[in-house]
Amino acid sequence: MGGAYVNYLDPLLSGWQAAYYGANYARLAQVKKQYDTGQVFKQFQGVLPA
């Protein structure tokens, strides 16, 4: 699996969670669930709460 360019969202990229966030995605999803309960920082291809 390759990576992705910083600050560039590619709507055609499959596996974007791993490409953008790597092994940190699961941990980031837990943090988002705890601290962003109102989905204030919601974006396309962003971390979803676990």
**pLDDT digit string (tens) for 1-50?**
567 777 888 888 888 899 888 999 999 999 999 999 999 999 888 999 98
Whether 29 is in a domain gets the answer: yes
Whether 47 is in a domain gets the answer: no
Whether 46 is in a domain gets the answer: no
Are the C-beta atoms of 47 and 29 separated by less than 8 Å? Answer: yes
Sign of CA dihedral 24, 26, 30, 35: positive
Whether 48 is in a domain gets the answer: no
| Number of domains making up the chain | 1
Q: How far apart are CA 10 and CA 31, in angstroms?
A: 24
Q: How far apart are CA 6 and CA 2, in angstroms?
A: 13
Q: Quick one: pLDDT at residue 1? A: 57
| Residue 22 lies in domain | 1-41
Q: Quick one: pLDDT at residue 9? A: 86
Are the C-beta atoms of 13 and 19 separated by less than 8 Å? Answer: yes
Q: Quick one: pLDDT at residue 26? A: 96
